[in-house]
Chains A and B, each alone.
Chain A
């Protein structure tokens, strides 16, 4: 039986030559924790920008009507009854069911059919494939 070899033709289990082992160790970026901290700060900053509209929206939903347009992020005066009122004022359950039915059916149909169709496109590789997919996709 021949010895098992890796791609470079070296027998497995043999020690790796010293030079090759050294190269990765010189590579790690300098001051990794400082870079990581900077990254986290940047990402947190961006996240705050993305979240502010949501926070405002949620807090607006917890304020009485007259205070909806307030420029505060805090729900004062606090009026959580809004969430009860809306159920009484509108047939929310029906609307939710409508959305749910359409959503589930669309997700299933699109996922299944896309998997099939992607295979077809991959098989033919005709140039129109890129365009047709670009035209039917919404970012």
Chain B
């Protein structure tokens, strides 16, 4: 930037810049207030009421929250969801990073493979749920049939969305690929001249240089896993037949929330559930940011 003639003019200019910046932020601010902030406050208010959509909400104080604590299905679904998240997120990050490393190394041919890995992401979540319901069927599913070909007795795959979601990790892979391509070549050259092994190059150059991307994907994948809904719902609760044959073992938190809200019309209770999940996600994110900031390297700083 060119130095300005006087200090007064500079501050005027920066004030104008600030105004412009706010103007640019306006779509997000308005969108947040109308589509996120407003509904959140509404659900907070509803969480203290009994509301069945038809009659007016009735204030019941902390009743919903008390019920939340004593409902075994809440604890069960939360346990399932947390277990799935703890299993899926590290697995997804490791597999995505592996795929991204392969893609980066292969050079020119990466376009085709990148497209293949991204295809599942473009498949609607509902279609993915139904597709895997067929594929994972213990008796007639293709996956067990293929496992049988190599002599493995496939399990009855009752509740394994962790595997399904591994099919749709293309976004994370693409983010890693972009991050990997941004690491300056000179660092590897310098390391090789010093005689660093591939593992040490990976550990001390690649990982720190893409730590920003790793951190970002850790946070968004954790949140998305905790909020998993569409695939599980279509797989296990999509129609009466699957719903009746499904046990609590496949109950995910947001699926139970949806049932409470739109099947049993317990809007107040569902709102309380939503707020509990929000607080849990908030706590986990704050923790991740606190811990993460110690390890993450930001180019700009």
Contact = CB atoms under 8 A, between A and B. Distances in A.
Interface residues of A, number: 39
A117 B23 CA distance: 9
Given A54-B119, A69-B134, A120 B28 contact: yes
A121 B32 CA distance: 14
Given A23-B193, A43-B106, A139-B224, A123 B145 contact: no
B106 A120 contact: no
Contacts, number: 104
A139 B117 contact: no
Interface of B: 17-18, 21-28, 31-32, 99, 102-103, 105-106, 109, 113, 116-117, 119-120, 131-132, 134-135, 137, 140-142, 145-146, 167, 169, 171-172, 189, 192-193, 216-217, 219-221, 223-224, 285, 289
A62 to B, nearest CB: 15
B116 A134 contact: no
A124 interface: yes
Interface string A36-74: 100110110011001111101100100000001101010
A47 B216 contact: no
A69 B134 CA distance: 7
A139 B217 contact: yes
B106 A71 contact: no
Nearest to B140: A69
A88 to B, nearest CB: 21
Chain B binding surface, main DSSP class: helix
Contact of B220 (A73, A113, A134): A134
Most buried by A among B25, B219, B223: B25
Contacts of A132: 28, 32
A50 B167 contact: yes
A87 interface: no
Given A36-B106, A46-B102, A123-B17, A134 B27 contact: no
Given A36-B106, A50-B116, A113 B28 contact: yes
A113 B141 CA distance: 44
A131 to B, nearest CB: 7
A54 B120 CA distance: 8
B116 A51 contact: yes
B27 A116 contact: yes
B171 A139 contact: yes
A69 to B, nearest CB: 5
A53 B140 contact: no
Chain A binding surface, main DSSP class: helix
Contacts of A83: none
A114 B169 CA distance: 23
B193 A56 contact: no
A139 B135 contact: no
A17 to B, nearest CB: 16
Contacts of B224: 138-139
A50 B21 contact: no
A28 to B, nearest CB: 10
A15 to B, nearest CB: 21
A23 B285 CA distance: 46
A43 B115 CA distance: 12
A68 B142 CA distance: 11
Contacts of B219: 134
A134 B32 contact: no
B132 A53 contact: yes
